[in-house]
Chains A and B, each alone.
Chain A
Amino acid sequence: MKYTSEHEYVKIEGDIGTIGISEHAQNQLGDIVFVELPEVGKSFSKGDEIAVIESVKAASELYAPISGIITQINEQLDIDPALVNSSPEDKGWIFKIKLSNASELDELMDEEAYASHIG
C-alpha cells in the first residue's frame, strides 16, 4: 500500500493499482454522500482530476496518484457511497488503473511515511 500527500492510496497487484482514499481522509471529510466516478477506458496522467468525493457540505477532487488507464470502477459506490466511510481501504475502493509508468510508484509514501505525514 502506497500513499500520496493528498491522502489517496494505491494498492498494487501486478500492473493494476487499486485507488481510494485513506482512513484519515474519510474521517476528515465526514459523511460521504456521493462519489463521481471516472469512465472505464479513459487514460489519465498523474495529477489529473479523476473523481469527486462529496460530503453534505463539501466536494473534494481526487487526483490521479499515478498515470494509466481506468480498468474498473467501484459501481457499488453509486448505491452505497457510505462504503468509503465504513471501509475506505477495502470495500470503499474507488477505481482500478492499469499503470503506464510503474516508476511513479517510487514517488509515493509507504505506510510509515504517510503515518508521519498525517502526524
Chain B
Amino acid sequence: MSMNSTGRPTSANQQNKVNAAALLPDEPLLFEVGRLDSSGVDLPEVQIDNSFLGGFERQEKLQLHGLSEPETMRHYVRLSRLNISIDASIYPLGSCTMKHNPRLNEQMARLNGFANIHPLQPINTVQGALEMIEQLADWLMKLTNTPAISMSPKAGAHGELCGMMAIKAAHDANGQSERNIVLVPESAHGTNPATAAFLGYQVRSIKANENGTVDVSAVIEAMDENVAAIMLTNPNTCGLFEPDIIKIADAIHDAGAYFYCDGANFNAIMGIVCPGDLGIDAMHINLHKTFSTPHGGGGPGAGPVVLSEALAPFAPVPFIKKGGDNITLVEHVEDSQSLGRLTAFHGQTGMFIRSLSFILSHGIDGIEQVAKDAVLNANYVKVKLEGEFSLPFGNQHTMHEVLFDDSFLAGTGVTTLDFAKAMIDEGFHPMTMYFPLVVQGAMLIEPTESESKYSLDNFCQKMLELAKDAKVGNVERFTNAPMRAPRNRIDETLAARKPILKWVKEE
C-alpha cells in the first residue's frame, strides 16, 4: 500500500473501479422515503357537505405516500442520475433517431398561449394554435410532396394504424373488402405486422435479396387479387434505400392495392427525396425521431400521416380547413367517407410546436443538410469500423444507419448482447441489437446528424478496441459487463417468471 504524507491511501483499488459511485447512490422507493401524511403542496383545508356526492365518497383514507418539495426534488434528481441521455452521451440506437432536442422547442411549447389553451375552446379563441398546426402540416406535406395529412395520431404505431385504416376504408368504399392480405418484408418493424393483424389482415412475409433490399420480382410473386397493401420501410431497417421502390409502387397500384410506407427513417432523405414522388399512399412521420421532440424515457410521441389523393377522403377527424381569414376545425364525420376518430381532441399539439420550432430553425436548407450529415456520419462510422466488424450485405454505402452482424464475434464466446453491455462500460448507450431480424446478431448503429466528428472518432476508437479485445479472448470484459454502470447485468428472466409490478408493503 502506498501512503502519502498524511497517511491516507492514494492508489485506486482495482475492485473499487466503479465510477463516481458516491455521486450515484441508490435511491429508495418513494414508498420507503415518503410518508402517508406528508405533502409538498399547500392547499386549504376546506369543509364540504356531501349532498352532491351521491354516497360515493371514499370509505378509507387514500394510502398514497407524499414528499415535501425539497424531498421531491432530491428523489427525482437522484433517480434521474441513474439514466443515460442524449445530452450526456452518444445514443446510437438504430431506427430510433436519437438526435439533439433543442431547448428552444421546450420554451416555445410552454408559451402561455400554447400550453394553457383547452382543446374545446371556441375556435375563434385558438386561431394561433390552428395556424401553428396548419404551418407544420404544410411543411410536412411539402417535404413529402403529398396532398393531404392527418395530424391526430399520437405516435408512430398510431399513425400506422391510421394509414392502414384509411387503406381499409378505401377498399371497403371501392367494393374491395375481400382483400385480406398485407405484404410485409421480414426486416420490418414489429409494429407493421401487429398493425396489419389488428385490422384483421393476414400478413404475408416477403424475403429480402442478398443485398438486404426487396426486389420488385419478390413483390410481384407474392401479389394476388387478395392483397390489400404493402407495408414497406424506406430507407429500410438495414439502412438501405429500396432501389426498386418506384417499380414496387407501380406493381402494387397495378394490382389495385395501396402502398403504406413506414416513415421511421425519413431523417435520411428529407429535403432530398419526396416520398410522394415514389408513389406512396400513406406514410407516418415520427416527430419524435425526425423532428427532434424529446423521447422522454418512452414517449410521448407523435405520428402524423401524409396521404395520397386516393386516401385523402378517408382521413380521420379532426382536420383543419382554411377558408378566408379563419381556420376551422372539422371535428365530425357527418356524411364524409372519413374512417372515424382515432383519439379525443386534436393530436399531440405540444409536440407539433416543438417540431415546427425545429423545422423553422433549420429551414429547408438546414433540413437537407440534416439528411446529408446523418448519412455522412453513418458512412463515416461504417468505414472506421468495417475492418473489425462484419457487414452482412457486402461493402456498399449506407444511408443514415449502418448495420453489422455478429459474424466478427464467431468463436469468441461473446454475443451481440455481451458486446452491447460492454459498450455501456465505455460510457455509451448501445446500438440497436437483434433487429432487424433478418440479420444474425444484428447491430444497428444510427449516429444521427447531432454527433460531431470528435464524438464519432471517440466512439469508433472505443468500438474498435472492444472488437479487438473480444477477438483476443478477453471474454470476461463482455460477459460480466456492465461493471461500471449503476447496475450489473439485470435478471430479466426473474422479472418475467415472477412478475412484481408494484410495491407492496412488507408485512
Contacts and interface: CB of A to CB of B under 8 A. Distances in A.
Interface of A: 31, 33-34, 54, 56-57, 81-82
A7 to B, nearest CB: 20
B315 to A, nearest CB: 35
Contacts of B15: none
Closest 8 interchain pairs by CB? A33-B496, A31-B493, A33-B497, A56-B492, A56-B496, A56-B493, A81-B497, A33-B493
B441 to A, nearest CB: 13
A57 B190 CA distance: 13
Interface in B480-497: 492-493, 496-497
Contacts of B496: 33-34, 54, 56
Contacts of A81: 497
Nearest to A30: B493
Contacts of A34: 496-497
Interface residues of B, number: 5
Contacts of B493: 31, 33, 56
Interface in B394-448: 434
Given A31-B493, A56-B493, 5 more contacts: A31-B497, A33-B497, A56-B496, A57-B434, A81-B497
Nearest to B497: A33
A82 B496 CA distance: 11
Nearest to A81: B497
Interface in B450-507: 492-493, 496-497
Nearest to A31: B493
A54 B497 CA distance: 10
A34 B495 CA distance: 11
Contacts of B492: 56
Contacts of A54: 496
A34 B492 CA distance: 13
A5 to B, nearest CB: 20
A54 B492 CA distance: 13
Contacts of A33: 493, 496-497
A6 B22 CA distance: 52
14 contacts: A31-B493, A31-B497, A33-B493, A33-B496, A33-B497, A34-B496, A34-B497, A54-B496, A56-B492, A56-B493, A56-B496, A57-B434, A81-B497, A82-B497
Interface string B275-289: 000000000000000
Contacts of B497: 31, 33-34, 81-82
A113 B81 CA distance: 56
Contacts of B434: 57
A29 to B, nearest CB: 12
A33 to B, nearest CB: 4
A81 to B, nearest CB: 6
